[in-house]
Chains A and B, each alone.
Chain A
């Protein structure tokens, strides 16, 4: 802490020193006088002997200073004066850099909020997600036998439920969780309490914990909500507590959680329940992720004999233990890093641009630097002065960029796909400010270094001291400037190539035929309570009625029902064994996308019948056990054979693996055309269409309406129709099939839009760079051009020369950029769809664009050059 004390005692030390020196001189004078010298002479001699008092005091003071920091302050003041003085330069530099820093700060904010910020749980780094799906009994088994986790919980998938209010039911996302989930997470309720151990027992499980958001939205933050009951899917549940604000578990959409409950033998029964539970756990201190994973797999193996069936041997190998944060971020990370790369390049372009502006300005400051040099300022001293100036500019730009990033953040998050993880948490945190500050300083150093070194170069100093006119810029100055411009063009090429590849990929994706008709089809979800189908046939009858009524809605030409829409990520797996493909007990069963459909489905979405027949109304009795499969499944299972009449059986119906029961199994009656059911980018999957029967009736169905009226009007018709049957049944998720397909592309689309925006930014900044360099070259060559014109050179030749110079820069930049673009393409590859290596379209269009740009940027300076009056030009120097 001595430096701190020094800081405050410094002034006294300075005064002491001055006094001491005064006394010293006095003593010397007196001794000289004593030797017989005259007083005035003695004073002169003493002073001469002593040397430069001021200099010495200064050097004496230096001992007390952080030399760099203290002498920085005058530099800062001087720098600020320069910034005010060269206003035009300041505005140009700050706005260019602010674009770059702003874009970087904005993307960093996303990265920070999504990837870097810890989850809102204590010691969140010890929270792990265990991948895989488990039956609920399994979670119990692990809780009892596992050693790695201090606390382990299971949770179910997010599912919608009807929550009944006074007038109508609303659809709300809810999940099931182990009763100890909040202990595992380490959070405390905002209100009331969380689940107790006993809520795990069936019969005592009719409780619910609300999310903070749902509590606010539905109950307006009512403090008396605890103890009230809500009806969820027809079941009354007591409200126990409210989760703290900002806690979104298990999913971002979850509005309430209910306990996973067990009855009698459930707890130890690993089988007999769907494999629909996920697990998270809090690692014990000192246990590594790898150790936990090894233990989990070991336990898997031990538990396997408990199953009534022989399980696949390598089944446990898929289980991984991943930090919860990583598992939430998933593949969003690489996309964000890609964007950061793009904006990083933009910042480099901006730096190169401003460096060039500063070089051009250097000419007007030659004299200032020459004087400084002549007065003895060292090269380093001048470099430092100039760097202080550029860092100040960088900080100004950083402040502007940070504000711009803060303002644009909302628009930016809206550009991201809605399912981006943690998107609700995106916001400015202190590390964003730190990032902006560091980026600003680095930017200042980066763009300031080249001009500063040049100004301080001994060569420049010498030639200036020799008193010549403006010599800076002869040859070598333009070489550096041109290199910078070539670099800018090169980096722009990289950014737009990335944008171009992404766009091309998006275009290819949009050209993919989803396999089903999407035009003029409105979809909506109609949802009964989960328990509605307990009464056999009730759900089936209800939806048959809905379909019938839907057909009578004005403007509706056709109506159909399906349990899950394609391309929504909600496909239900049909896990099956097929005739002629007896399953080895050790193998995993085959899997297809399974859909339960009304008979009109195929026609409504335009699936073509390739073989056999479609489903008919008579199949809905269940007696025919009919199933329709798609072409891909027919070719995979029975290549070269007739699939009609073959048997398929869901493994859930099998007594033991591979034992197909022909009296229960479905019979293939038809083959229809393929559809993309996951996303346009993925290939065709196997699909099975089953009729709605009493055996597979479901409480929720999607209604598809083929209508020539506007979607909103059609949806209103559907709402009225459903309300006529049961006013408490909600109609939700109204969308057109076009929107469904478009939504499946939202990730590549947002990536393409962002990259395109950044590409435009890069081109904008880059062309300003080309323009300003060419303009500067022209103004510098005014005299030479004047001479040429005076000697009779035609004006078009001058224009050509200027444009040619610009074109050469663009060509050099494009060549450099294409090399970079090839590297960037290999990085981009994983985000691209059906774009060939070195996509010829993009790799031709982008350089052409750059050449065009070079001509445009050179045009105004070229015109100016051509309009130079030779006489005025010659007189100017």
Chain B
């Protein structure tokens, strides 16, 4: 499957964006713009994070204590708000990942041709 300009991008399922954000932040603290770029690159441009969803999601995670944010000056001398994953965020991520894998396994089983 390649990205096509003609097919509408699929909506992510609820929680997917959060998982990806948390996983990215686990790798290294980032600001919003970097997060968008990072996810785009890591998914070989298969996934396009909409900024419109990212910021509300970040605010929710801030409120729930999964991430914390701090104003910093970036390498390009820009004032950016850098997000960091918290311990609660790590726990949340692990839990969500295992739930996601279970779901994925289930979907696989259903979608794969029945063995006769």
Contacts and interface: CB of A to CB of B under 8 A. Distances in A.
Interface of A: 6, 13, 16-17, 19-21, 23-24, 26-28, 49-52, 55-57, 59-64
A24 B56 contact: no
A102 B36 CA distance: 61
Given A26-B78, A49-B51, 14 more contacts: A16-B69, A16-B71, A20-B31, A20-B32, A20-B81, A21-B55, A23-B78, A23-B79, A24-B33, A27-B78, A50-B51, A52-B52, A56-B56, A60-B58
A17 B59 contact: yes
B17 interface: no
11 contacts: A16-B81, A23-B31, A24-B31, A26-B78, A50-B51, A56-B56, A59-B52, A59-B56, A60-B58, A60-B59, A62-B59
B80 interface: yes
B52 to A, nearest CB: 4
A51 B52 contact: yes
A28 B33 CA distance: 8
Interface in B12-53: 31-33, 50-52
A17 B61 CA distance: 13
B91 interface: no
Interface in B64-114: 69, 71, 78-81
Contact of A51 (B51, B58, B60, B71): B51
A709 B50 CA distance: 101
Nearest to A26: B78
B59 A63 contact: yes
By secondary structure, the A interface counts as: helix
Contacts of B55: 17, 20-21, 56-57, 59-60
Contacts of B51: 24, 49-51, 56
Contact of A60 (B56, B71, B78): B56
A62 B60 CA distance: 8
Contacts of A51: 50-52
A50 B55 CA distance: 11
A20 B54 CA distance: 12
Nearest to B61: A63
B6 interface: no
Nearest to B55: A60
B63 interface: yes
A201 to B, nearest CB: 74
B81 A63 contact: no
Nearest to A3: B63
B41 to A, nearest CB: 13
Contacts of A27: 33, 78
Nearest to A59: B56
Contacts of A64: 59, 63
Given A20-B81, A24-B33, A27-B33, A56 B52 contact: yes
A717 to B, nearest CB: 88
Contacts of A19: 79, 81
Contacts of A21: 32, 55
A49 B78 CA distance: 21
A52 B62 CA distance: 22
Contacts of A20: 31-32, 55, 80-81
A27 B62 CA distance: 22
Given A24-B32, A27-B78, A13 B52 contact: no
B59 A61 contact: yes
A13 B71 CA distance: 12
Contacts of B60: 63
Nearest to B83: A20
A7 B31 CA distance: 25
Contacts of B50: 51
A17 B55 CA distance: 8
A27 B51 CA distance: 13
A52 B53 CA distance: 11
